[in-house]
Structure 1
Amino acid sequence: MSGEPRALDAEELRRVCEVVYRRTGMTYGEAKRYFVERRVLDRMARSNSGSFAAYMALLRWDDGEVERLINSFTVNETYFYREEHQLRCLGGSLLPDIVGGRRPGALVRIWSLPCSTGEEPYSIALWLLENWRLVDAYNVEIVGSDIDTDALAAAAAGIYGERALSRLPAGVVADYFEAPVDGLRRVIADIRESVKLTRANLIDAASMAEQGRFDVVFCRNVLIYFDDASRLAAARLLFDALNPGGFLCLGHTESMARISDLFAVRRFGDAVVYQRPPVA
C-alpha cells in the first residue's frame, strides 16, 4: 500500500475505537494506542485501503471487513481447565442444584461465552465426563459462542498445542485427544460433536436471544474490556439468557455485584457465582 501512515492521529484513533465499541462494547483509547494501531494498519494494508479515510469508508459498507477488524481485536488467550475451581463448582454444586427437581433425561444447557478457540467449552465437556457421575443421566447440551469467527473456526478444528493442554491430566489427554502430529493434538470427534458452536455478540440482544436460555453460563474475562454502560447492557442480556435459578460464572477479577443488582450472589465452597433468582 503506497503512502501507508506511520501512526493514527488522535481523531483517527477515536473514530476506529468508536466503530469497535459500537459493535462489541469493548473500549480502547490512547492507553491501548499500540494495540489498536497495529491491527488497524494491518487491516488497511490487507484491504488495499490507500488511506485511513478510504478504510473508514470501506467499513461503512463492507460488513465482512468490519468482522475481520473485530476478529483482530479479540483476545483469545486461554487453555484447558482454566479456573478449574469453577469446574469443580459446576459438578459439585451448580448442577446438583439444577437437576434436583428434574427427572433423569431432562435437558441441561451450559453456555460458554466467549468460547474463544474452544478450550473453554471442551473443558466443560471433559470435566463432566470425568467427574460428574450423573453426566449420562441427563441430556447435557454445551454451546460455545464467540463474536470472533476466526476463533470459532479454530474451535471447530479442535487442534491444540502443548501449552493449551498443560493443565490436563495425562490420562485425559490420552483418552480424549488424537495422537500428536507435529506437536499438536486434536480433540476426538465425539468431544467436538458434543459442543455446538455459534456466533453471538454479548451486547447484541438479537444474537443473544437466538441462543435460547441456559442453566449455567460461563462468561469469563470479557467484561473487563467493557465500560460501565456496556457492562450493564451485557448483564441484562446475560440475565435474560438464564433460566430462573440458573447460574452465571465470571472471571476471577470480575464482580457482577458491582455491575447489576439483578443477580443474587451465591458463595459455594469452590467458587462465587451469580444466580438468576428462582421463580417464587
Structure 2
Amino acid sequence: MSEFPLVSEEEFRKVGEFLYRRTGMVFAETKRYYMHRRIAERMAELGLADFAAYFHRLRVDSDGEVEQFINAFTVNETYFYREDHQLRCLTADLLGERMRAKPAGQSYRLWSVPCSTGEEPYSLALWLLENWPEVDTHEIEILGSDIDTKCLEAARAGIYGARALMRLTPALVGKYFEAAGPDRWRLVADLRDSVQFSPVNIVDPESVRAHGTFDVIFCRNVLIYFDDASRRLAAENLFESLAPGGFICLGHTESMSRVSPLFEVRRFADAIVYQRPRGKAHG
C-alpha cells in the first residue's frame, strides 16, 4: 500500500467526521495510521488512487461503499465465554428476577449487541443449555446484532478457530462443534439455529427500535469507542430497548453510571449490571 500517500490533515478530518456521523465511533489523531491503512485497503479494492475520488464514492454510497467502509473500521475481538461472570449472573439472578416479573408463558428475549462474529450470542445459548435447568421449560429468543455485515455473515456460518474456543472445555467442543477443516470447528446446526442475527446501528434510534424490547441486553466493549454525546445517545436507545425491569450488561471497563442517569445499578454476587427501573420512562 506504499503507493498511497498518508491522508492529509483535512482528509483525516473529513473521514473521521463521516465515520462519526454514521456510527458514533471516534478515532483520534493517534489512530491516523490505522485509518489510513483501512482507507488504502478500500481504495486498492476499488482500483482508486485518488482520495477525493474515493471520498466522493463514499458520500454518494456508490455500490454500497458505506457498508464496506464501516465494516473496515469495526473492532471484532471476541471469543466464547468471554466475561463469563456475567453468564453466571444471568442464570443465577437475572433470568429468575425476570421470570418473577412476567406472566407465566411469556418468552424471554436476550440481545447481544454488538455480536461481532457470533461468539457472544452463541455463548448465551450454550451457557443456558449447560447451566440453566429450566431452559427446556421456557421459550428463549436470542438475537445477535452488529453494524458490521461481514461479521454477521461469519456469525451465521458459525465456523471458528482455536482461539475463539480457548475458554471452552474439550468436552463442550466435542458436544457442540464439528470439525470444519484444519484447526476449524463449526457449531452444530441446532445451536446455530437457536440464534438469529440482524444489522443494527445503536446510535440510530430507528435502527434500534426495530428490534423490539428485551429482558437482558449484553452490550460489551463498544461504548469505549464513542464520545460522550454518542454514548448518551446509545444509552438512551438501549434504555428504550429494555422491558421495564430489564437488565443491561456492559464490558468490565465500562460504567453506565458515568454515561446516563436512566439506569439503576444492581450488584449481584457475580456481576454489576444496570437495570431499567419499572415504571420509568425516558424523559
> TM exceeds 0.5?
yes
Shift in Å, 1:48: 2.0
Shift in Å, 1:104: 4.8
- Aligned-partner Cα distance in 1 for 2:169–2:103: 32
Instruction: Look up the SS of the partner of 1:163 in the other structure.
Output: coil
**Partner of 1:126 in structure 2?**
126
- Aligned-partner Cα distance in 2 for 1:187–1:228: 38
Indicate conservation of the 8 Å contact 1:105/1:137, yes or no: no
Question: Does 2:95 align with 1:99?
Answer: no
- Aligned-partner Cα distance in 2 for 1:237–1:255: 16
Indicate conservation of the 8 Å contact 1:13/1:29, yes or no: no
Indicate conservation of the 8 Å contact 1:114/1:222, yes or no: yes
**Partner of 1:263 in structure 2?**
263
**Partner of 1:43 in structure 2?**
42
**Partner of 2:32 in structure 1?**
33
Q: How does 1:137-152 map to 2 (within 5 A)?
A: 137-152=137-152
**Partner of 1:16 in structure 2?**
15
Residue type at the aligned position of 2:250: L
- Aligned-partner Cα distance in 1 for 2:105–2:226: 38
Q: Which runs of 5+ in 1 are unaligned?
A: none
Indicate conservation of the 8 Å contact 1:248/1:275, yes or no: yes
**Partner of 1:62 in structure 2?**
61
**Partner of 2:84 in structure 1?**
84
Instruction: Look up the SS of the partner of 2:69 in the other structure.
Output: helix
Residue type at the aligned position of 2:12: L
Residue type at the aligned position of 1:200: V
Residue type at the aligned position of 1:197: F
Shift in Å, 1:144: 0.1
- Aligned-partner Cα distance in 2 for 1:57–1:247: 42
Instruction: Look up the SS of the partner of 1:50 in the other structure.
Output: coil
For residues 30-50 of structure 1, give each alpha carbon's deviation from its aligned partner in whole angstroms, at most 9, with x where no partner exists: 111111010011111112223
- Aligned-partner Cα distance in 2 for 1:104–1:238: 25
Instruction: Look up the SS of the partner of 1:274 in the other structure.
Output: strand
- Aligned-partner Cα distance in 1 for 2:247–2:67: 30
Indicate conservation of the 8 Å contact 2:80/2:123, yes or no: yes
- Aligned-partner Cα distance in 1 for 2:247–2:101: 16
Query: Which runs of 4 or more aligned residues in structure 1 lie more than 3 Å from their structure 2 counterparts after TM superposition?
Result: 101-105
- Aligned-partner Cα distance in 2 for 1:58–1:241: 34
Aligned residues: 279
Shift in Å, 1:169: 1.8
Shift in Å, 1:60: 1.4
- Aligned-partner Cα distance in 2 for 1:16–1:197: 29
**Partner of 2:215 in structure 1?**
215
- Aligned-partner Cα distance in 2 for 1:270–1:29: 35
Residue type at the aligned position of 2:42: R
Shift in Å, 1:180: 4.7
**Partner of 1:153 in structure 2?**
153
User: What's the Cα RMSD here?
Assistant: 1.4
Q: Which runs of 5+ in 2 are unaligned?
A: none
Shift in Å, 1:198: 0.3
Indicate conservation of the 8 Å contact 2:4/2:49, yes or no: no
Percent identity between matched residues is 58
Shift in Å, 1:279: 2.7
- Aligned-partner Cα distance in 2 for 1:184–1:104: 41
Residue type at the aligned position of 1:105: G
Shift in Å, 1:258: 0.2
- Aligned-partner Cα distance in 1 for 2:253–2:26: 17
- Aligned-partner Cα distance in 2 for 1:155–1:57: 31
Instruction: Look up the SS of the partner of 1:234 in the other structure.
Output: helix
Shift in Å, 1:181: 2.1
Shift in Å, 1:15: 0.6
Q: What is the TM-score normalised by the length of structure 1?
A: 0.97
- Aligned-partner Cα distance in 2 for 1:225–1:102: 35
